Structures are given as structure tokens and as C-alpha cells.
Amino acid sequence: MAMPDPHQDVRSSSGVTISVRGVSKDYATANGETVHALDAVDLDIAAGEFVSVVGPSGCGKSTLLMLIANLVPASNGTILVDGKASKQALDRAAIVFQRDVLLEWRSVLDNVLLPIEIKHLDRAVYRQKALELLDLVGLKAFADRFPRELSGGMRQRASICRALVQAPGLLLMDEPFGALDALTREQMNFDLQRMWMRDQNTVLFITHSIEEAVLLSDRVIVMSDRPGRIAEIYDIGLARPRGAQSRSDPRFLQAVEGIRRNFMALGILSEV
């Protein structure tokens, strides 16, 4: 029997599909004003697809992510996860925020197993999987350590393992590497790519880094300033796995340049 190719670009997937139709979001502020955060967003994400969102601060990226996770209600429009109202999405979704939210009094392994405990699943069954995930990101030797003994990058790796331990169909990541130094961030990109290729989750990834978005994604969504709208969607056709050499691939450079030009045309970026 042929062995599966570990570098295969996996597409058929256990990930969920997402359908966003005409979604808007208005927030009522404390002083009685209304913030029109998102406006008429339409978006389809295929099962197992890796989609990034880039856009200026305050354009509604986190809002879009929270709407899909059903953590805040939409003002208008519908969101379907695997064809169902996204109320059920939280069951299939794991969220990674910019700052890791590890519990300081639990070991790294116990932090990774937290969702298993919350869902009353069999800890013994998932322990092995948790250790495999920690191994995958070079943290196996730290399984019994406490978060305070870890660096920022190691902590964020542990929180990604925690998100992945229950095999979510949907991984929602809100600037997960924003607080990391550049070198650690680069390593995290490769770690995330490896895990995504292995697990076939659907991923919605928010970042301020155009290069990071292009390196990781099947598609990059460019959002305009508030109220956030989808200004453009870029298909990134580069083969995987994408390594450091991908950054000098003409198609990588072309995509990065195209997105940057788009931000200039939108008045979000300006040169000297």
C-alpha cells in the first residue's frame, strides 16, 4: 500500500464550510451612539480552506470572527456553519486570541486538556493526542511545566495545541502571533502550516501582516476601513508546504505587492 505523502496538499477535509450572507453589525456604544462596524459582508469558505483577513485597525476583523463564532449577534444577514445556523458553531470552533489565555496554575499538558475536561470527554484518550501535538511544536519536554516557565512563543504554541486537541472543524485565529518577536513568528507560521496540513481544519486567520497572510493562505481577504467591507479577495496559488524560499517566489511577491497596492488605493497605506 502506498504511504501517504506527508507533504501532500490536503484538500478533502474534516473542516466545516462557512457561508456569510449580507452580514452587517452595528454596536450601540455607552454614550448612545451607533458604530457601524461591518457592512453587507458576503463570504463563502470551503471545508479545509485557510482564509486570512487583513485590513486596517478597527475595520471589523475581530467582529467578523466573533460573529462566525456566534459570540456576538449579527444586526443583519445570516451565517451558516456546515449549512446550519452558527449557534452550533461553538461546538466545532476553537479560538486562538492574540494573547494566550493559559491558566497559570495548570501544567502545560493540563492546559491543553482543558477543553476535554470542560466537555467531559475521556482524558485518557486525549492525553496521547495532546502529547503528540506538543511534540509537533517542540514542547513535549515541557508538558509538565507551568506557563510561567515558558517564553511567549512557547505559551502561544501551547494555546494552539489546546485549540487543536479536540479536532475542531473550525479554527478561528485573531492575530495569534501579534505579540511575538519576528523570528518566533516565522517559526509559528511554519508550525501552523504543518498542523493545518495534518488536521485539515477550516481556518479563519486575522493578521496585520500581509506577508504572513500570503504565506499561509489559500485566499486573502482585504477589508476596507470602517464600516468594514470586503474590498478584494486574492487567490494564493502557491504549492505547499511553503517554506522560507516561497517568500522569494514571484507569485508570492506579486500577491504581497497587489495587496499593498490595494491598501494604497483605499487610502489605508501611503508612501513618504
Ligand X SMILES: Nc1ncnc2c1ncn2[C@@H]1O[C@H](COP(=O)(O)OP(=O)(O)OP(=O)(O)O)[C@@H](O)[C@H]1O
Q: Residue 17 or 207: which CB sits closer to ligand X? A: 207
Chain Cα centroid distance, residue 18: 14
Residues 62-81 that bind ligand X (CB under 6 A): 62-63
Rounded Cα–Cα distance for residues 215 and 209 (Å): 10
Provide the minimum distance between the beta carbon of 26 and ligand X in the complex, in angstroms, as a whole number: 9
Cell numbers representing residue 112 in the block: 491543553
Site string for ligand X, 36-65 (x = CB under 6 A): -x-----------------x-xxxxxxx--
Asked if 72 contacts 66 with a C-beta cutoff of 8 angstroms, the reply is yes
Number of neighbours of residue 252 by Cβ within 10 angstroms: 18
Question: Is 20 near ligand X (CB under 6 A)?
Answer: no
The item of Mg ion, ligand X, none sharing an interface with residue 202, based on CB under 5 to 8 Å by kind, is none
Chain position whose Cβ is nearest to Mg ion: 62
Among 13, 21, 35, 179, binds ligand X (CB under 6 A): 35
Nearest 10 degrees: CA dihedral of 30, 95, 134, 208?
-70
Among 14, 19, 27, 198, binds ligand X (CB under 6 A): 27
Cell numbers representing residue 64 in the block: 467578523
Provide the minimum distance between the beta carbon of 226 and ligand X in the complex, in angstroms, as a whole number: 5
Q: Is 30 exposed, middle or buried (0-12, 13-18, 19+ CB in 10 A)?
A: exposed
Question: Is 29 near ligand X (CB under 6 A)?
Answer: yes
Question: Is 155 near ligand X (CB under 6 A)?
Answer: no
Amino acid occupying residue 23: V
Q: List residues binding ligand X (CB under 6 A).
A: 27, 29, 35, 37, 55, 57-63, 226
